[in-house]
Structure 1
Amino acid sequence: MSLFTNLLESMHMDLKITENCSRQSNLHSTCTFCVEACKKGALSPDLQSIDLNHEGCNSCGDCVIACPLSAIEGIVDSRDFCKGSLLYSESYTPTVKELLIYKKRGVQSIQTQDIPMNDQWKKVLTQTNKVLEVVGEPVIEVVQKAQVEEKLSRRSFLTSFKREGKQLAKNMAPASWKLEADQWKLAIYYPEYQFYTILIDRKKCTLCHACKTFCTQKVFQIVNQTLKINHQNCVGCTACSDICSEDAIQISTEVKKINEEYVELHSKICLNCGQSFVTFLPETLKCHVCKDRDPSWLSPYQ
């Protein structure tokens, strides 16, 4: 078998949905970002997972980019780059998140290669440039194909995700083509900004800690009798709002300077069970367990 054949085989890599998928740990998860991104219908939601039909998958990588938790491993196989340009293609439409990350990876422009850009691309590019203006970055321009340029393959471009500051050519190894965890999260590239804001209805919230337990991004923390909300950590996966039984959490898409919110908590002793608990409202008399417990049910503390 030739070295070239061995190389081709090493390049092949099926997509894999990892245990980071929120549907595997949260029965209430409604996350379907990857399903919505898949144009081939190769992904479908199941009760506790996302089913992947490898035969229907064309390895375009749209689902890899779309997953807010970087729970899909694989190669984005449908993008081409030429030096500092993303080459325009009507075969796909990038997302705002994708272009923002490419911008931080060195892409300065979109090269149309004399093909007029369609409305979908124009819309995404306009939205992306508005965000770039907010975060103080130069906008992405549209340029025509240069006379002579050395084309970098999409795989060599994505090897730059492997290690910051290394030249693309130095990462031309099959092991580098596999995207590592968290490489498609905006927080890595824009650490001074948050892209989501968590809104908690304090009148509804019972501080049952379900959101804190199921959030893998550590958005919620209890620190010195306060609830610390790390908005910058939020990736918009909706795990917290899905698990909230009180419908007390909303996620707002908003790009702004990072803001760590601290909300004062009050320590109380439950009037029914005598257990200590914390609450937003000082007038609250019962813990979250006793608040909704039928009086005929046995207390879990007895």
Structure 2
Amino acid sequence: MGLLDKWVESLDYQYEVLASCTRYKSPRSTCQRCLEVCEHNAITFENNHPLIERDKCIECGNCIAACPVQAVAGIFPKRTVIQNKLLISTDSLPTVKEMLILFKKGVREIIYEDSSLTGTLKERVEEVNLILNQLGEETFFVLNNAFEKTEEVYSRREIFSLWKRESQSFMKQVTPANWRFNHKQLDVTKFYPSYQFTNISLNPDKCTLCKACELLCEKKCFSKLETTFSIAAQSCSSCRLCEDICPENAIRVEEHISAVKEIHYPIYKKQCSICREQFETLREHEEQCVSCTKRKGFLSF
């Protein structure tokens, strides 16, 4: 294939699931957000991995917005913004994530003309406004009227680039599609740094400091240092991989909006009363290392 042929082919790059998907990182992952939101049954699972059937996919972008670790790569369809007003067409409603980021771009009003959207749109806006209230922000206004078609057209890719607010030309027709992927800009937590959207709780009576959560967390919410084990949930997008892979079932993830906070658990350095080896624990009065505790439990069984 010649250089020109490769260039032309790259202009029409289709959606794909990346290796950063939690199901690629661990067979114990139970995430199926992309499957749940796909209205065209274009996503299936093969060997625990999500696959996009390209003959069914219409590239609506719902799977991109739903993925908690931004592992679905692709380009969103266009949105129409008129003087900081979002025009809703009959094609599809913006997702909650998208509307929260649109709000940070300065959009405050939503305009629609199709009366068939009234009920569904109202529910979506109410959901978003409830979240905005919890985030200490203003809310969206919804209008149902005609307007002068003096349009500024933004793709969703542009919506999520606050520092390119004034730019209208992004060379869409001449740039390879895989260079224009916007999936990594759909992390809503980056737009609200003073809040966290999830609560991560740890049961220190069960945790063995195996570090599986720290090693596999895409958002780096866990950190084991010399004297403390810390949890910072601000960047957590609720993929629940930590909950799925914890061998001791010591972690719980709950979607809940609150002010940013970090939790620090002290690490105690001990000498095992059985094998005499040094070990670390979150339990101040623990006297046996994990291996000896499990061996003892196995023998007693």
State the 1:47 CA deviation.
3.1
AA in 2 matched with 1:121: L
Gaps of 5+ in 2: 1-6
> What's 1:28 paired with?
28
**Structure 1 92/296 Cα, relative in aligned 2: closer, same or farther at 3 Å?**
same
**Cα distance in 2 between the residues matched to 1:123 and 1:29:** 31
**Cα distance in 2 between the residues matched to 1:118 and 1:207:** 51
TM-score normalised over the length of structure 2: 0.85
> What's 1:189 paired with?
191
> What's 1:46 paired with?
46
1:188-208 CA-to-partner distances (Å, cap 9, x unmatched) read 111111001101122222221
The residue correspondences of 1:234-273 to structure 2 (distance < 5 A) are 234-273=236-275
> What's 1:4 paired with?
none
> What's 1:300 paired with?
none
**Cα distance in 2 between the residues matched to 1:12 and 1:86:** 27
Give the share of equivalent positions with the same residue, in percent: 29
Match of 1:228 among 196, 213, 230: 230
> What's 2:170 paired with?
171
State the 1:296 CA deviation.
8.1
The residue correspondences of 1:62-141 to structure 2 (distance < 5 A) are 62-77=62-77, 79-115=79-115, 117-141=117-141
1:119-162 CA-to-partner distances (Å, cap 9, x unmatched) read 3332221121122122222201102344313234453x522435
Equivalent pair of 1:227/1:264 in contact (CA under 8 Å): yes
- Describe the SS at the equivalent of 1:168: coil
State the 1:27 CA deviation.
1.2
**Structure 1 8/136 Cα, relative in aligned 2: closer, same or farther at 3 Å?**
farther
More displaced 10-residue stretch of structure 1: 94-103 or 114-123: 114-123
**Cα distance in 2 between the residues matched to 1:125 and 1:293:** 55
**Cα distance in 2 between the residues matched to 1:135 and 1:295:** 47
**Cα distance in 1 between the residues matched to 2:286 and 2:147:** 71
State the 1:251 CA deviation.
0.8
**Cα distance in 2 between the residues matched to 1:124 and 1:288:** 48
**Structure 1 293/92 Cα, relative in aligned 2: closer, same or farther at 3 Å?**
farther
**Structure 1 113/41 Cα, relative in aligned 2: closer, same or farther at 3 Å?**
same
Higher relative contact order (CA 8 A, sep 6+): 2
Equivalent pair of 1:159/1:172 in contact (CA under 8 Å): no
- 4+ residue segments displaced more than 6 Å: 7-10, 294-297
> What's 2:204 paired with?
202
**Cα distance in 1 between the residues matched to 2:117 and 2:153:** 21
- Describe the SS at the equivalent of 1:233: coil
Gaps of 5+ in 1: 1-6, 298-302
- Describe the SS at the equivalent of 2:185: coil
1:20-51 CA-to-partner distances (Å, cap 9, x unmatched) read 11111111111111111111111123334211
> What's 1:292 paired with?
294
TM-score normalised over the length of structure 1: 0.85
State the 1:171 CA deviation.
2.8
RMSD over aligned Cα, in angstroms?
2.7
**Structure 1 184/116 Cα, relative in aligned 2: closer, same or farther at 3 Å?**
same
**Structure 1 45/105 Cα, relative in aligned 2: closer, same or farther at 3 Å?**
farther
